A and B are shown apart, each in its own frame.
Chain A
Amino acid sequence: MAAAMKASRISGTVRITVSPKVAFDLPSLQRGLKSLAERLGHEGCASGCDILHLLTERQFVIRDDATLGREVFPSASVGLPQDPIPLRTVTVFIPDRVNNDIGLLNKAVDNAMRQLGCAPCCSGFDILFRRWMDAIAINEKAEVAAFGQ
């Protein structure tokens, strides 16, 4: 699979656009990236062949519930013939608004406020850091496999 990821196969820049709230809300980002990777071909990696897959699919939507679908948007891109290399554009929308799951967006906004705003009044301590440090997963080789679940 590594051979399928040759940079030489890419003659331009691949751009991924996400909304700030999805980018900052880790569960949303996680679901979105998982859906994207799965849709692109191989779940375990996103590679050159995945990009080919993306090209053939042409249009994707990552909904705010982090599911991926093929939907036609009026502004969906078309091929952009340019010299000297013919360029193609694939468009994936991650809409900022939620039509069918307002609770998810509310949660993303609440998360952003809690994680970026002023800490609530308290003269003790925030247990979040300790919980992060304590949440350690050990794999079958007795190695640390994950933190901060």
Chain B
Amino acid sequence: MGNDSSTTCLGVGITYSDSVRPLLESRPELFQVVEVEPQTTWLKLRNATPSYRVDEEVIDRIVATPGRKLVHSIGTPVGGTVRPDAEQLVLLRSTIEILQSPWASDHLSFNQTPEFATGFFLPPRQTSEGVRTAVRSIADLQDALAVPVAVETGVNYLRPRADEMADGEFVAEVVEEADCGLLLDLHNVFANALNGRQRLDDYIDQLPLERIWEIHLAGGMELDGFWLDAHSGAIPDPLYGFAEKLIPNLPNLGAIIFEIFPSFVPVVGLDLVRDQMLRLHELWEKRQPSTERKPTLQSRVSPILYDGAPPAVWERALGGLVVGRPAEGDLAADLSGEPAIRVIQGLVFEFRASMIVGALRMTSRFLMLSLGPKAFRIILNDYCAKTTPQMYAGLEAEEFGAYLRALDLNVPHLAKVVEFELAAMASVVDDKTRVIHFDFEPIPLLRALAESRLPEVIGEAGDYEIAIASDGPIESSGLNLGEVRGAFPFH
């Protein structure tokens, strides 16, 4: 499905998450398509083959949601020198087949260096070599997947640089060279413009509009002088107005997707999500599929060769800075002066901390209740400074657990709570039975933490085990009934 073929016409939809499921069920007519980020339905196993686990129950429930499905990968980005992971590509292909996605997409960004994950999608090196790098990775996707591939325009919080192509120009060269589709994330481009990069009109003017198969729209928020692509609520009115004018000029538009981050849904409410879907339907009506295709613009072919630092150097420099490593080399020193670096570092921290409090809830509560929120934040900051991000929350929680063990805080029974939670988490992932031994009665402590409080009493000393297993009895063995009855005759 290059620029010559017509796109499968899907319609309006939303990014799937369990937080929007009630709306999918109550108002199915609003959703002609549901976009799935497959990695959010996978679990990652450490030191295992295969190293991913897909929960078929989740996939089955996604299949049962209204409308067609679109696969939007978030684990095989094509903007960097780290090529898409072969194991993920196999799973991705399988997911595409199960969901019968007519095309698949991933990001024209990078989130991985050869040494570490960045924990955040970062802008690619927008040079001639950067174009070649992206085209090579897109070819990997095209070879591995049985459907056409589109790439998504990314957010870039850095200031424009003299040694890089304009944003629209770079995207245009990539998709033309790769002969692929374009997923135009309008909120990303809107945020870039608000943050001082290319104007929205200028950006669109450089794109091959006939390659735009899909649009993403979302809401954002301001933080420290930046407009964030936060997927936090309603589509800003100026952006909606821009989309109204643009959409009639997109002859091959196949889908418009509303994105909202799951954690924000309880904050803004499902009524807002419903209203955004209704607005998207109005946008969809603006389509004019018969519109004559816009010719390729000469400006897309850059007469200038942008060189300078190669993509791998760019990725190490930028990636290293956002994960808190000291600047090494001229480029890193140059980038370290970017106001956006500090903001991105903060965003990465929030993601990592959210993964930890989400996966290790009782541990986090125990730390906050025992030490206070300030100390808990200091601990998290120290952990993030000493380790690099993990892409999967389960792995991040494992790392944090290991960090806590080494920290050996003076919080009685903390180690056992950590051990219990990590074991529960690991058993969810691999279905193996794990037994945790306690030298005190654990129910009062675990119950109190599950209820967000410290226990009034800690269980008395004794030998206890909690076995986490797929099925099974609670067994209490080794009790001398006679002695116990003698001790508590009234029971």
Contacts and interface: CB of A to CB of B under 8 A. Distances in A.
B55 interface: yes
16 contacts: A10-B478, A16-B464, A47-B459, A47-B460, A55-B481, A55-B484, A88-B481, A89-B477, A117-B42, A123-B230, A124-B228, A124-B230, A133-B373, A146-B365, A146-B369, A147-B452
B232 A126 contact: no
Interface stretch (B198-206, B303-311, B349-357): B349-357
A117 B40 contact: yes
B74 A120 contact: yes
A142 interface: no
B475 A48 contact: no
A97 to B, nearest CB: 9
B466 interface: yes
Nearest to A60: B474
Interface string A15-53: 111111101101001100110110001001111110111
A114 B261 CA distance: 11
Interface residues on B, range: 35 or more
B473 A92 contact: yes
Contact of A127 (B259, B263, B365, B456): B263
Given A14-B476, A117-B40, A9 B483 contact: yes
B377 A133 contact: yes
Given A46-B441, A106-B57, A95 B471 contact: yes
Given A24-B427, A26-B362, A116-B425, 17 more contacts: A7-B460, A9-B484, A10-B479, A16-B465, A18-B472, A20-B469, A29-B450, A54-B476, A95-B471, A109-B55, A112-B428, A117-B41, A117-B394, A123-B154, A129-B353, A132-B354, A146-B369
A47 B353 CA distance: 35
Interface residues on A, range: 35 or more
B278 interface: no
A36 B477 CA distance: 17
B477 A137 contact: no
B429 A116 contact: yes
A122 B216 CA distance: 12
Contact of A119 (B355, B442, B460, B466): B355
Contact of A46 (B75, B107, B362, B444): B444
B338 interface: no
B374 to A, nearest CB: 10
Task: Report the 7 A-B pairs with minimum CB-CB distance, sorted nearest first.
Answer: A12-B478, A124-B230, A92-B474, A5-B460, A20-B427, A126-B354, A110-B18
Interface in B106-141: 107, 120-121
A118 B17 CA distance: 12
A23 B442 CA distance: 13
Contacts of A129: 350, 353-354, 356-357
Nearest to B346: A125
Given A2-B460, A34-B447, A117-B393, A125 B230 contact: yes
A117 B427 CA distance: 14
Contact of A14 (B18, B188, B465): B465
B161 interface: no
B57 A109 contact: yes
Contact of B155 (A36, A60, A123, A133): A123
A62 B441 CA distance: 19
Given A20-B427, A147-B365, A11 B475 contact: no
Interface string B157-168: 100000000000
Contact of A20 (B191, B372, B424): B424
Nearest to B155: A123
A145 B456 CA distance: 11
A107 B17 CA distance: 12
A133 to B, nearest CB: 6
A70 interface: no
B276 interface: no
Given A118-B391, A125-B350, A18 B441 contact: no
B72 A91 contact: no
Interface string B78-104: 000000000000000000000000000
A17 B107 contact: no
Contacts of B475: 15-17, 77, 89-91
Contacts of A141: none
A87 to B, nearest CB: 5
B407 interface: no
Contact of B229 (A16, A55, A123): A123
A99 interface: no
Contacts of B121: 121, 123
Contact of B471 (A6, A13, A15, A93): A93
Residue of B40, B107, B220 with highest tally of chain A CB at under 10 A: B40
A148 B481 contact: no
B487 A20 contact: no
B231 interface: yes
B472 A17 contact: yes
A54 B474 CA distance: 11
A37 B447 contact: yes
Nearest to B456: A44
Contacts of B223: 124-125
B488 A48 contact: yes
A139 to B, nearest CB: 9
A117 B43 contact: yes
Contacts of A37: 443-444, 447
B296 to A, nearest CB: 29
Contacts of A100: none
Contact of B230 (A30, A110, A122, A145): A122
Contacts of B15: 120-121
Contacts of A128: 263, 354, 357-358
B8 to A, nearest CB: 22
